[in-house]
Amino acid sequence: MIWGGFHGALLSLERIIGRDRFRGAPGALVYPFRAIFTFALVCVGWVFFRATNLADSLYVIREMFAGKAGWSGFLIPAWLLCFVGASLVIALGEEKSEWLERLAKGPGWAYAAVITVLLFSIELIGVTDKPVPFIYFQF
Give average pLDDT by consecutive 10-residue segment, the chain, 139 residues.
84 76 69 79 87 87 70 63 79 77 84 86 73 64
Q: What DSSP letter does each residue of 48-88 carry, written as one string?
A: HHHSSSHHHHHHHHHHHHT-SSSGGGSSS-HHHHHHHHHHH
Query: How confident is the model at residue 19, as a pLDDT?
Result: 66
Whether residue 43 is found in the same domain as residue 86: no
Contact between residue 52 and residue 93 where contact means Cβ atoms under 8 Å apart: no
Domain boundary among 24, 48, 66: 66
Q: Which domain holds residue 126?
A: 71-131
Whether residue 7 is found in the same domain as residue 49: yes
Q: Please give the model's pTM, rounded to 2 decimal places.
A: 0.53
Whether residue 89 is found in the same domain as residue 113: yes
Residue 111 located in a structural domain? yes
Whether residue 108 is found in the same domain as residue 57: no
Whether residue 13 is found in the same domain as residue 38: yes
Whether residue 90 is found in the same domain as residue 108: yes
> Comparing C-alpha atoms, which of 38, 39, 59, 37 is closest to residue 48?
59
* Calpha distance 83→90 (Å, rounded): 11
Whether residue 31 is found in the same domain as residue 77: no
Whether residue 62 is found in the same domain as residue 79: no
